[in-house]
Amino acid sequence: MAGLDLRPPEIGTRKRFGQHFLADEGILAELVACIAPQPGEIIVEIGPGRGALTFRLLAQGATVHAIEIDRDLVAAFRRSSAHGERLIIHEADALKFDYDSLSHTGKPLRIVGNLPYNISTPLMLGLLQRGSQIGTMCFMLQKEVAERLVAAPGCAAYGRLSVMTQAYCQASIVLDVPPTAFIPPPRVDSSVIVLHPRGDIPCRFKDLESVVANTFAHRRKMLRHTLGKHFSAETLATLQIALTDRPENVSVAQYVALANLAR
């Protein structure tokens, strides 16, 4: 593509940033297909690494705001010749980044990225809090984390992250990725997950987070010892929640109803 340097910067990995660079051409092609970038669209990429995904998004005509904490990678991108005005590099911590600064278009931000395993959970919870400011998200995650996001009530993976994610988004795993797709290979499998925000806001984030966090902090205990301290047996019965249930037996809709009652 004219005006763009499609050669990714050659920089080594840093363990403290949890870096594993996606390098499999087939997986990259499938990831771009999942994101389906449109010409002129603004996409925020968290952790562009060596630019393997970044430059493919640019080649599809998107404008990419890339958030990178590694100053050596940032410098390599900025040295890269003729990468075009559609690539904007932000040297920043994605957990602390001011996403409001990118909201000038008035459209929800599309966010993508190969998320470092050590920040994936707090980062996603932070983005979910931003409500209608955030649009579709497509992330590469540790497979175990992705499975927690989509887990249904009653299974071992169902927990706080499941409820918080599914209350605000429709979540689906679209691709599993082996360790061999990365440089260096991680010790875990990965998955690509797509999150589509729901049209309505079911409850205040902090109310739901409080109810869910307090309940799952004692996930082996019956609900009489957690929810029973804050809601009457009659209220719980109205929502078809038994005091002898455990946290993983309560559905997302029931947790949302409790959050609305807790206001």
Task: Find out whether 90 and 97 touch, Cβ atoms under 8 Å.
Answer: yes
What stretch of H or E contains 170?
Answer: strand 169-177
Q: How many angstroms separate the Cα of 78 from the Cα of each of 3, 43, 66, 88, 204?
A: 14, 19, 12, 9, 40
pTM listed for this prediction:
0.88
% of the chain exceeding 70 in pLDDT? 91
What does pLDDT average to over the chain? 88
* Residue 179 confidence (pLDDT): 95
% of the chain exceeding 90 in pLDDT? 70
pLDDT higher than 70, residue 12: no
CATH number of 15-197: 3.40.50.150
* Residue 81 confidence (pLDDT): 54
pLDDT band at 83 (very low <50, low <70, confident <90, very high): low
Q: How far apart are CA 200 and CA 222, in angstroms?
A: 31
**Domain boundary assignment for the chain:** 15-197, 205-261
pLDDT higher than 90, residue 17: no
Find the mean pLDDT for residues 164-177: 96
pLDDT band at 21 (very low <50, low <70, confident <90, very high): confident
Buried b (16+ CB within 10 A) or exposed e, 14-28: eeebebbbbbbeebb
pLDDT band at 199 (very low <50, low <70, confident <90, very high): confident
* Residue 263 confidence (pLDDT): 72
* Residue 67 confidence (pLDDT): 95
Give the residue, 19 or 140, on which the prediction is more confident: 140
pLDDT higher than 50, residue 13: no
Q: Express each pLDDT in 228-257 by its tens digit.
A: 999 999 999 999 999 999 999 999 999 999
CATH homologous superfamily of 205-261 equals rRNA adenine dimethylase, C-terminal domain (1.10.8.100)
